[in-house]
Structure 1
Amino acid sequence: MSNDQNAETSTAGAYITSGQEFTRDTNYITTRITRDGADGYPVEAGRYRLVAARACPWANRTIIVRRLLGLEDAISMGITGPTHDRRSWTFDLDPGGVDPVLGIERIQDAYFARFPDYPRGITVPAVVDVPTGQVVTNDYAQITLDFSTEWAQYHREGAPQLYPEPLRDEIDTVARRVFTEVNNGVYRCGFAGSQEAYEKAYDRLFTAMDWLEERLTGQRFLVGDTITEADVRLFTTLVRWDPVYHGHFKTNRQKLIEFPALWGYARDLFQTPGFGDTVDFDHIKRHYYVVHEDINPTQIVPAGPNLDNWLTPHHREQLGGRPFGDGTPPGPVREGERVDPAHTPLR
């Protein structure tokens, strides 16, 4: 994918500017971890730590891909709390509020270890070089692609092909529209600084949602007959739609449950190992409703919606397709990486 396709950031960089359209900060640390180590960081099992937040849709993608591919033994993972201040995400879920591997309280410490005067937003996901404690990259769109390609020697047996070469052009094309119009489109609505900007963003978003609804009416997955990178990228927005975006971001023409194909598709993925078992609805709601004080100054977190409907039959298997192709589903979630059972209908 080209650099403009990777133009994504975490929720930490989102604020309302009065009278203006929301514009996402698109500058990332583009250092890559590759087999040849061209950027100074070779693929090496046990050397790197993925720092992610279950609350963040962009970080959620990396958690899903790491699990689908079985990279748990090769790349360790640290999970931040669901909220943050303007400085950084913190490790408040860990004993003493310190990441047990990196020994830091805030992910900003890894950024400053490499760039003492780092001027941009401190975002997740980020991959950190454990020996030096320095951030390597926060360019998470590239992170997941590299998990699929550069880290192939460490994939589990039966790992799916999330970025198969014959479909890459189509995956890139679909993913580009999903990002610009949907992944970022909900933010364009939520952080619009004027009525005009909001209505323009709203129309763009639902034009794309209608396109996706039509596309997924006749096919089980976005590209081809298996799960690909494109599905991962769409899923993390859809799973946040009714709990957060519909109300908080005013994307309220329809709830997700009112899109027959998209709702079935989202449930199909949610009930697939590697997707729903990475989703923490409590973290999602607390993050958006507490952190975005300019949108929700009371910081009251809604009690709903009911989540049991995520486990209802979807019947998408009638469209054919094989979620993992010639591969197999991942095994049980690793001890220490499970979502709190109180935060998910997958108990």
Structure 2
Amino acid sequence: MKRIRNLGAAALALALVACGGGGGSSPPPQTGGGSSGGGSSGGGTPAPSPAPTYTEFASLTGNQTFQSACSGFELGFNFATFPSTSFTNGFGFDFTAATDVWTISPATGFSAFDANLSFGSADLQSSSAEGTASYRRQDANGQTELFRYGFVSSLSPAPAYARSLQLSAILPNGNRGIFRCTFGVTTQLSDPIPTVTASSGFISYGSYSIEGDAYVRASDGTTQQFSLDRSNIDFRANPADGSIRVGIEAIGREFLSTGALSDQETALGTAQGDTSIDGSEQNFSGLMNGTSPDGNFFGGGFGGWFFGPQGAELGMVFEFFINRADGSVVIMSGVVTGTGQDEFVPV
């Protein structure tokens, strides 16, 4: 059992927005190790005997079908976020082994993106035995589109079942869409997260990675880009009642003209939200309320699911949109991966 601190008094002071267990429906039967039923149920039901078996992501073979939770933003004459989807409403990712092709089907939650994309062996830039890959292709107008999945090497332990994903593609309106998703070998509904032993305990994760970006557009139209890699995450799941609480402290490091990241950290906002799961659907999602450093309130959302035996790993996406007092606009989107599941108690 481990002890965990809150993100801070500011996060605790936020008004919370309660939301049900996501808008997605139960997933249809699928094939492949990446498409088993997912999630953990509320109530802390003991794991079934014998327990389900799981194939690690890097060991999957043959055709695979994956669902996902995704968030993103649109860059161009529009400057906006795509709301975070629940796990069953993100993009569909299908791998055909015979042709070595990934096909990406439209996401229910992104009406602006309604076309199928495909990436094949000719587009492959790199791959590894650990279950990571990067693809690059040109669309019909010569614009670059990217598709890559993997995990951040600083995660300890490294994820065996969950993967984060980035997709950068041209939307039908000509703008660029940049999406962050979580997918992988999902936890089966019959294999819930463990019960806790302490009355105030909750299930969380000892190691997190945050992959995402923030764009700040000033009133004169100039734009800055920030990495969110040093942001802080507070995730708490209570198996007794199925409640989930998410806190995010968004911290940015600006991309310099050289392409390197600044060492200076910039506070962008702190947000918190609640939702719940009941064991009937393979997703969780909810709304978030936040406060930016200039005192403005903002909204956003989150969505995701669990991966591996008894929710051993976490995958979650989030997005925020902030109108600041100086007339600038901030949009953020990211994906969170958590490993090292354990019971924690507040201090």
What TM-score results when the alignment is normalised by the length of structure 1? 0.28
Structure with more relative contact order (C-alpha pairs < 8 Å, separation 6 or more): 2
| Greater share of strand | 2
TM-score normalised per structure 2: 0.28
